[in-house]
Structure 1
Amino acid sequence: MDKFVVRKKRKHEDSVDEAVGQHNEEKESLVTESTDSEAIIEHIEPVQSVDAENSNASSVPKAFRNWEKQHPWLKLNTTWVDEGFLDWKHGLRGIEKHEVSTLHINCAEALANVKTANIVPSISSAKSKQMMNDRVALLKIFSTLKTLVRQGHKWLHHQSQNEILELMASTVLSKIMDEIRAVEYFLLSLDETSDVSRSEQVSICLRIVSDDLSAKKYFIGSFSTKNTSAETLFDLVKKILMRYDLPISKLRGQCYDGASNVSGKIFGLQSQIRQEEPQALFVHCNAHNPNLVVQDSVEKILFARKFIRTLKNLINFVRDSTKHIAQFKDLQIEAEKENDSSLPSLAAYCPTRWVVRIKSLKTVKENYAPLMQFFYDRSIDREVDSSISAKASGFFNYMGSFEYSLLPVEVEVLLVIVKMMT
Structure 2
Amino acid sequence: MDIRKFFLTKVSAAESSPSVQSQQEEESLTSGSEQIIDFDDDPLDAEEGSRSSCLESSEELPERAGSSSVNLSLVCEATDLGDVEKGPVQPKLAQYPYEYFGTQKRSFQFHWLEKYSWLEYSIQKNASFCFSCRNFGTKQGRSHLDSLMCKSGYKNWKRALDSFKEHDKSSAHKSGMLSWSAYKDSILRGNVLEKIQTGREVQIQERRDYLKRLVAVATFLSKQGISFRGHDESENSQNRGNFKECLNLISKFDTFLKNYSPPANSTYTSPLSQNAIIQCCSEEVSSKIVNELKASGLYSVMADEARDHQKEQLAVFIRYVLPENGEIKEHFLSLKELKDFCADSITESLQECLKDYGLDSLLCVAQTYDGAAVMSGVSGGVQAKFQKYHPEAIYVHCYAHELNLVLCHTCKAIKEAKDFFNTMENLYTFFSTSLIHHQKFKDAQSTLGLKPGELVQLSDTRWSCQIRSVNALITNFVPVCKCLSEIKSSTASGLLSNLKKISVIFLSLCSKLY
TM-score calculated relative to the size of structure 1: 0.61
Secondary structure at 2:380 match in 1: coil
- Higher RCO (C-alpha 8 Å, min separation 6): 1
Deviation at 1:224?
3.8
| Counterpart residue number, 1:31 | none
Deviates more, 1:285-294 or 1:322-331: 322-331
Count of matched residue pairs: 342
Deviates more, 1:167-176 or 1:229-238: 167-176
Indicate whether 1:290 and 2:370 are aligned.
no
Cα deviations by residue, 1:67-111 (Å, 9 ceiling, x for unpaired): x9xxx9995258x989xxxxxxxxxxxxxxxxxxxxxxxx9xx85
| Counterpart residue number, 1:406 | 506
> Mapping of 1:176-255 within 5 angstroms?
176-195=289-308, 197=309, 199-211=311-323, 212-255=325-368
Aligned counterpart in structure 2 of residue 119 of structure 1, from 198, 209, 213: 198
Conservation of the 8 A alpha-carbon contact between 2:297 and 2:362: no
> Mapping of 1:263-412 within 5 angstroms?
263-315=376-428, 318=431, 328-336=441-449, 346-376=455-485, 379-380=487-488, 392=492, 394-409=494-509
CA distance in 1, matches of 2:106, 2:458: 110
Secondary structure at 2:355 match in 1: helix
Q: Would the alpha carbon gap of residues 376 and 57 (structure 1) be closer, same or farther in structure 2, given more than 3 Å must change?
A: same
> Mapping of 1:132-211 within 5 angstroms?
141=217, 145=221, 149=225, 157=241, 163=275, 169-195=282-308, 197=309, 199-211=311-323
Unaligned runs of 5+ in 1: 23-43, 83-106, 381-388, 417-422
Which of the pair is proportionally richer in helix?
Answer: 1
CA distance in 2, matches of 1:19, 1:321: 101
Indicate whether 1:19 and 2:137 are aligned.
no
CA distance in 2, matches of 1:145, 1:7: 91
Deviation at 1:157?
1.1
CA distance in 1, matches of 2:499, 2:401: 31
Q: Would the alpha carbon gap of residues 353 and 401 (structure 1) be closer, same or farther in structure 2, given more than 3 Å must change?
A: same
Q: Would the alpha carbon gap of residues 60 and 172 (structure 1) be closer, same or farther in structure 2, given more than 3 Å must change?
A: same
Cα deviations by residue, 1:90-142 (Å, 9 ceiling, x for unpaired): xxxxxxxxxxxxxxxxx9xx857337x35237579xx98x8899689658756
Question: What amino acid is the match of 1:350?
Answer: S
CA distance in 1, matches of 2:222, 2:302: 27
Secondary structure at 1:119 match in 2: helix
CA distance in 1, matches of 2:352, 2:328: 25
Deviation at 1:289?
2.0
Conservation of the 8 A alpha-carbon contact between 1:188 and 1:205: yes
Secondary structure at 2:399 match in 1: coil
Q: Would the alpha carbon gap of residues 73 and 277 (structure 1) be closer, same or farther in structure 2, given more than 3 Å must change?
A: farther
Deviation at 1:208?
0.9
CA distance in 1, matches of 2:484, 2:197: 72
Deviation at 1:275?
0.6
Indicate whether 1:76 and 2:154 are aligned.
no
CA distance in 2, matches of 1:45, 1:375: 104
RMSD: 5.1
* % same residue: 21
